[in-house]
Amino acid sequence: NAGVTQTPKFQVLKTGQSMTLQCAQDMNHNSMYWYRQDPGMGLRLIYYSASEGTTDKGEVPNGYNVSRLNKREFSLRLESAAPSQTSVYFCASSGVRGGHEQFFGPGTRLTVL
């Protein structure tokens, strides 16, 4: 089992460009999450999907959209990238709604120039 996979690993964008970060899990988990980590900061929740077909905003959703494509896949889209979105993005999944162990992917390092 691969666990949680993310693509791409690295990406450089120019201001105003768009891109989609992909995430997939093979653990049959119901819930999936997107976090960002900035230097010297903890992880902050962007969006989450408690179950297939539902998505909800987290702490820092502005500038992002998400799609829960199916039970396995949860994508994060930046429609018009800004330098403030330079960060490391982590996808995670969990089998139980709220409060329990989340499994994280390896991250996508995004730089917006």
Residues that bind another protein (CB under 8 A): 4, 31, 33, 35, 40-45, 48, 50, 56, 58-59, 90, 92, 97-107
DSSP one-letter string for 50-70: SSTT--EE-S--TTEEEEE-S
Q: How far is the CB of 15 from another protein (least distance, A)?
A: 25
The pairing of beta strand 31-37 with beta strand 43-49: antiparallel
Q: How far is the CB of 29 from another protein (least distance, A)?
A: 12
Q: d(Cα 71, Cα 53) in Å, to the nearest integer?
A: 8
Name the residue nearer to another protein (CB basis): 5 or 75. 5
